[in-house]
Structure formats: C-alpha cells, structure tokens
Amino acid sequence: MNTMTTQTTVAIAVPLEAELVERIRAVDPSVTVLYEPELLPPERFPADHSGDPGFRRTPEQEERYWDMLNKAQVLYGFPNESPAGLARIAGSNARLEWIHAMAAGAGGAVKASGLDAGTLQKFKVTTSAGVHALPLAEFAALGILNGFKRSAELAQDQAARNWPELRTPTRLVNGSHLVVTGLGEIGLETARIARALGMTVSGTKRTIEPSTASRMSRTTRASPACWPRRTPSSTPSLARRPPRSSSAATSSPP
C-alpha cells in the first residue's frame, strides 16, 4: 500500500446522506471529499447504500462518475455496490489506497471481483462489520421473547376478538439457556442481551481473535460441546464448525 500524501481525496461511491458526508469532510482540513449525489441512486430509506435499483445514469453521468472515483485515494463503498465495480476501479485507479465497504461481509464481493492477490495488495479493504450488531441483536431478542411468550397466538386471538378463558402457560426466558451459532459482533451482542434477560449463554465460533476473547468470556459460559479445549492462556478455543454465512441464535429448555 502506498503512503498517503498530505492531502487525501475521498470519493463517495454509494448513496449517503449529505449530513454524513459533511461529517467526513469535518474530520480534517486535509481531507477533500468528492460527492455528487446526482450520480448516485436515490436512497429508498435511511442507510440504503444500494439505492433505487431502477436508477440509470446517462452516458455523460457515467463518465463523470468514474472520473470522480479515479481521482480518489479513498473510496466510500464499492463502485455501484458490485464486484464488477470493484474490479474496474482496481484496474483504472493507480492511486487507490483504501476502500471502505458498506457491507459486513465484503469478502464475498472481493472474491467475486476476480482480482488477483497482487492487485489486492495495492489497497486495503475494510468493512462495516459490527455497526448493525445492536439493532439486529434486538431483533434476535424479539424472536426469543415472541417464542417464549407465544405472542403470535395472542395476536391471532386479538385479531379474531377471541379471549379464551384457558390459555397455554408461557415459559420464562429467565433461567433458560441460549446457544448462539456464530459469536461474531451480532452474536456477541445477542448473548449480552440474553444474559441481561437472565439466560445462560454458550456459543460457537470458528476462530477466536485475542481482541474478542475477553468479550466472549463475559457474555457466554464454557459449554463442553462448544469449548472442547483451552489454550495455555486459558482462552476458550472452539471446535471447528462448517462455514456459516451469518450468526444465528437458538434457544433450548433450561
């Protein structure tokens, strides 16, 4: 990776709210931000970094878009949020040093771009992994509570104006056990919320980074099925699991 010059040019390659662009500009006077919203698909909702799928640039706009990206050392988002866009900019922008991808799982797009190892060593790719951990973990907690409290059945009875005198008793979340499959950022945040609800938690992870080991020990407990051995440093080491595309949570009786 080349050493960054005193002046750094950042190009916004995907839809982004104007106020967030201004926050990037405010980071440092040496940062120049290239942002032309008319060249980007309109957002359908906040944080819609793909934008309206029906958006099309004119030939003149398409030329301006790529000219803007080729002036930058840093890109915010993959061009057109696609592997093909990544491959094109990697071949045309010799000054490119860093791309920040909007998705957490940007590795799939990098692989799909077909770029060789030598090209990929010329710039860094970072991801937004973890930024959506809390809202997604709250949805996981919602699913847990819905299952334990049979809220779907209650909603059906409410819609039918049916108020049965006898109901099936619901179970307590508190004291139950949760197994989190995939202790990434979302999984760890789900485990933290589950612990706050009084659940015991264990989980699986293919590899453990030193930076996350302490968080894992605070949010989960060692389960013989999930933590079969310990390293000399007493950091839990996980059994190898088949690759999974995302974190998932399942609950079991106490």
How far is the CA of 230 from the CAs of 32, 108, 127, 180, in angstroms? Answer: 49, 31, 30, 19
> For all residues of the chain together, what is the average pLDDT?
83
What's the confidence (pLDDT) of residue 102? 85
Over residues 173-183, the mean pLDDT reads 93
**Residues 184-239 pLDDT 10s:** 889 999 999 999 999 999 998 888 777 666 677 777 664 434 443 333 333 333 33
The answer on pLDDT for 246 being more than 70 is: no
Task: Determine the length of the chain.
Answer: 254
End-to-end CA distance of the chain: 52
DSSP, residue by residue, the chain: -PPP-SSEEEEE-S---HHHHHHHHTT-TTEEEE--GGGSPPPSSTT-SS--TT----HHHHHHHHHHHHT-SEEES-GGGSHHHHHHHHHH-TT--EEE-SSS-THHHHHHTT--HHHHTTSEEE--TTTTHHHHHHHHHHHHHHHHHTHHHHHHHHHTT---SS-PPPPPSTT-EEEEE--SHHHHHHHHHHHHTT-EEEEE-S---HHHHHHHHHH----TTT--EE-TT--EEPPP----SS-EEEEE--
**Residues 48-83 pLDDT 10s:** 889 999 999 999 999 999 999 999 999 999 999 999
- Going from the N-terminus, what domains does the chain have, and what CATH number goes with each? 8-126 (3.40.50), 133-252 (3.40.50.720)
- List the structure tokens of 19: 């106020």
- List the structure tokens of 240: 């190898």
The pLDDT-based confidence of 164 (bands split at 50, 70, 90) is confident
